[in-house]
Structure 1
Amino acid sequence: MTLIMIDEVMKLTGLTKRAIRYYEEIGLIKPPQRTKGNIRQYTEEEVSALKKVVEAKEVLGFSLQELQHFMELKETIERDQAQGRLELKELEHFEEAVEEQLDMIHKKIKSMMLFQQELQELLEKTKRVKTEQY
């Protein structure tokens, strides 16, 4: 298993050390293992999780609070499923929470597509004006 030092993680994710540590502190990623000198060492899986956080935050516009909620929900489902403790009531609650997350994503995608359309129209208008004037 390859372990990656925080400086390399910064390069791979585009995050600062402070952001990486903060994401760990608020539970968006699990604390990585450390050397005897207390230096963080990340696995490829942990770096991949950080990249997903960055993507969800930057591309989809999720807030850190929304990401925390999603991660808590995911971890609870996985933990309870592994322990065989999922009850119908819990499953229904989780299902509802996941549906809310999906609705939020659909709304964000719709907003992004509308904005993309506006930008496309502006680009076309700019090209027409440019062609007419020059």
Structure 2
Amino acid sequence: MTLFTTGEVYKLTGLTERSIRYYSNLDLLKAKKNDNGQLVLLKSDLDKIVQILAAKIIGYKLKDLIDRQPSLGFIKNDMTQMIVDLENILFHLDLTDSEGNFMKNIKLLQNYNTRYLRKR
């Protein structure tokens, strides 16, 4: 069983020790302390970090993840939809030559903000 210290995880990923400790304090990770008092993570904790970071990208708040941790498959589906929505917005932003298109762009952007960014 391979254990990773927070320092090792930081060196390999750039994820700060403070963030790892915070996720652990929220019980999002099951990190334990080793004999030297260092916080150590299992491979399962690294998998969970992937889920946490991916969920944050699509707008989940950490406090939401405490009660409900969506599966990676669910997160990937949300990310795919997010990309589709962003591509649609990019397409329509090029069509701002009429008042109707401006209104449509505002509606698209407002819907995107409501769906994704307000979760933050």
Check whether TM > 0.5.
Answer: yes
Question: Larger % of helix: which?
Answer: 1
CA deviation map 1:98-129 (0-9, x unaligned): xxxx7xx988865653333112444698xxxx
Amino acid at match of 2:15: L
CA 1:62/1:124 → structure 2, altered by over 3 Å: closer, same or farther?
A: same
Structure 2 equivalent of residue 65 of structure 1: 63
* SS class of match (2:86): helix
Structure with greater Cα Rg: 1
1:80 aligns with none
Identity %: 27
Listed as ranges, the matches of 1:34-113 within 5 Å are 34-58=33-57, 60-71=58-69, 113=84
TM-score by length of 2: 0.59
How many residue pairs match? The answer is: 94
Change (3 A) 1:10 1:62: same
Structure 1 stretches lacking a partner, 5+ long = 75-101, 126-134
Which residue, out of 106, 110, 118, partners 2:89? 118
Moved over 6 A (4+): 105-109
- Counterparts of 2:80 and 2:94, CA distance in 1: 21
CA distance in 2, matches of 1:107, 1:47: 21
Looking at structure 2, the residues matched to 18 and 29 of structure 1 have their Cα atoms a distance apart, in angstroms, of 13
Structure 2: runs of 5+ lacking an equivalent: 97-120
CA RMSD of aligned residues (A): 3.4
